[in-house]
Structure 1
């Protein structure tokens, strides 16, 4: 009798385990082929929604892990895309288009970061772009969007950037040191470098009386005046799908929904976000993270909604910039994920 009960018990356990496994697979779907989702990221606010997603295990139905793979140069980003090292990437909009125009299998999933940079300065009398005439201005990355936008606006306001003023290229650390020491008075950088500069010069350097380094001129406002389109958005960075990832529509849509959710949460919880971001960018100070969020216009906009903004932006910028920045042409409709 005992042996019969023992057999029944064993059968019950086997059936229960089988049902549980089936239930688990039905719920998690993609976990039966457990993968890691890899995302190439710069040190930028566009990466912050991904940190929120990881913290909340947002992609658990599709992957055992979502991992961030930092890159420090556009060449490194290009290599990741060409060799399919990642599923997704956060990229400067110029690089995303350039990679696509090379024939690499990538798609735009949405624009993540918007807006033109500021002129950061200790000059309290700087009130107009014309005040930069005959001045020296430090720029952190030659040929990147902040540099190209600055040059475009200068030209549009009758200033030749190679004649009427001096643009000097230097890294973010040198800009911070020279601004703090008063060796240079003006700078333009991307969101991340600007946050570092403002943090260093205003929080970790002895500030002299009346020596206040801050955002003085919004180049975005001058862009509006130049184009005659107030409020027209300037795309800076984008979320991109790479290679075969594009074919997995269910995963891509879930990723987009969670990324959008993360973006909304961050914009409402900047103080909490800086504690999360510091885990992934430990070399940063919390104040830098906070400055970057204050400085950035972090907003996720779909391909359909951002396509016109992207095309209008480049049609304007290419009036003063070589089309080589996007590898000879604007992308066709296939670039935009549907």
Structure 2
């Protein structure tokens, strides 16, 4: 009798343990969620570098994968296919993504304007550009539109300026480093690399400061924007709240630890050398600001882009649905 009871208890305990193990495995499978985060090479990727390097467990049950897109075209393609859950993109791309997919919202900005007017010539302000040859990137794209908007607001005739356009910053820097171009609009961290190659380059003015002068913004214009899939945000509010706090703290750390920032960024896959990144951090304007604190700046920025060329924001001004309200 005792043997029968003992055997019965053993069977019950064994079955219970087996069921418990199976439930644990099933719960683990259900709870684990992959999160894809992407950013383009340059400052946007640098802003994510600490998170990518340390990959902290922000919320239990989530596995985050970080990656760098080498070109703006590849970034645009992956976003329009709605592949990343979270991405850092140029601010106008955030508007295009919202208008085209209806499935991305803005969490905030990770970087204000980092473009600077630089020259080896005797230039003191934007008005001195009339009659000069000036290098810039991406004709008709955001950097170009930002420059033209500022010049227009300052009543400077752009027809009197000979713009020399190249496709990328990697093409502009060699021209200015060798003196083939003496004046141009250059962004960090490329600017720091340029100044290391050509000691005669001097900074005339930052576009972010110029934007403050021609608008009501106290912070400047949002250059890089953190976006998130609307459906993902709706289903994972706890994760979103924690991620926002984590990236804010991460960017603050990068500003305070520029040497480590360069090392982290290089390990993440940023093409710029660590020493250049280290020296560029001070002028990079990396800063996380929640969208609820930046909504007016975005509305004004998009309005100016739309007035210049509607295609730059996807053909129409995005409505308020583009702004994430959950945090």
Alignment TM-score > 0.5, same fold: yes
Q: Name the SS of the counterpart of 1:168 in structure 2.
A: strand
- Mark the CA change 1:70 to 1:215 in structure 2 (over 3 Å): closer, same or farther: same
Q: How big is the shift at 1:166? A: 0.6
1:169 paired residue number: 165
CA distance in 2, matches of 1:298, 1:258: 15
Write out aligned runs for 1:251-290 (5 A): 251-281=239-269, 283-290=271-278
Distance change (3 Å), C-alpha of 1:30 and 1:139: farther
Cα distance, 1:51 vs. partner?
Answer: 2.5
CA distance in 1, matches of 2:262, 2:28: 32
Question: Structure 2 CA distance, aligned partners of 1:301 and 1:101?
Answer: 23
Q: Distance in 1 between matches of 2:210 and 2:320?
A: 30
The answer for the alignment partner of 1:118 in structure 2 is 116
**Structure 1, gaps ≥5 residues long:** none
Structure 2 residue 127 is the aligned partner of structure 1 residue 130 = yes
Q: Give the 3-state SS of the residue equivalent to 2:171 in structure 1.
A: helix
Q: CA deviation at 1:242?
A: 2.0
**CA-atom RMSD in angstroms:** 3.3
Among residues 190, 194, 197, which one is paired with 1:196 in the alignment?
A: 190
Question: How many residue pairs align between the two structures?
Answer: 319
Change (3 A) 1:198 1:32: same
Aligned to 2:46: 48
Deviation of the 1:265 alpha carbon: 1.7
**Distance in structure 2 (CA, Å) of the matches to 1:45 and 1:82:** 21
2:249 is aligned with 1:242: no
Q: Is the 8 A contact 2:38 2:88 kept in 1?
A: yes
Q: How far 1:169 sits from its partner (Å)?
A: 0.9
Written as runs of structure 1 = structure 2, the 5 A alignment for 1:60-71 is 61-71=60-70
Distance apart, 1:278 and its partner CA: 0.9
Query: 1:145 matched to which residue of 2?
Result: 142
Deviation at 1:243, TM superposition (A): 5.4
Q: What displacement does 1:250 show?
A: 2.2
The answer on whether the counterparts of 1:45 and 1:292 sit within 8 Å (CA) in structure 2 is no
Quick check: 1:312 aligned with 2:300?
yes
The two structures have a TM-score, normalised by structure 1, of: 0.81
Aligned to 1:158: 155
SS at match of 1:187: strand
Is the CA contact 1:93–1:236 (under 8 Å) kept in the aligned structure 2? yes
**1:106 & 1:174 partners in 2: Cα distance?**
32
1:58: how far off?
A: 3.4
Residue 239 of structure 1: CA displacement?
0.8
Aligned to 1:331: 318
Normalising by structure 2, we get a TM-score of: 0.83
- The equivalent of 2:218 in structure 1 is 231
Which runs of no fewer than 5 residues in structure 2 stay unpaired? 1-5
Shift of 1:232: 4.5
Q: State the secondary structure of the residue aligned to 1:331.
A: coil
For the 8 Å contact 2:108–2:294, the answer to whether it is kept is yes
CA contact (8 A) 1:43 1:70 kept: yes
CA distance in 1, matches of 2:293, 2:213: 23
* Secondary structure in structure 1 of the residue aligned to 2:288: strand
Question: What is the CA distance between 1:272 and its match in structure 2?
Answer: 1.5
